[in-house]
Structure 1
Amino acid sequence: MALTLEQLRADVADVLGEDPQAIPLDENLVDYGLDSVRLMALAAAWRRDHGIEVAFADLAEQPALESWAPLLGVTG
């Protein structure tokens, strides 16, 4: 099952304890409380659930949903 933008946003919101609609696509997720432990947990979940291999450093370099979407092969 492909990872969608809606699911990506929901996954991030879940680890941050936020409403998905409160997470803007272009905002730095560190400002919302994303830390390295949560980021590693997200990457592990995407690997497990969607077969997505992505480097932690690539995600950490630009911690915004709009930057992650192409790295993760996000659809619609």
Structure 2
Amino acid sequence: MGEGENKITPSMSRKANALDNACIESFFSFLKAERKELRSVRVIDEAKQIIHEYINYYNHHPIQGVLDYKTPKQYAAAS
């Protein structure tokens, strides 16, 4: 696979080695599930804004019990 008209190069691991992308795959799974409006976006700047808002929310709101209900930013600072 080469670059397409959008000049995006896919990142692929070796066959049967899914662990190296587990973190980003998890992020994309949550993003797709929680921001369904991305499916109908036609302008890249609109998509960027939606993703930026999602990342900001994710990093600053205590939504993860596995992090003792601290935000990822608070959890990282306490570590």
TM-score by length of 1: 0.31
TM-score, normalising length: structure 2: 0.30
User: Bigger relative contact order, structure 1 or 2, given CA contacts below 8 A and separation 6+?
Assistant: 1
Pair member with larger Rg: 2
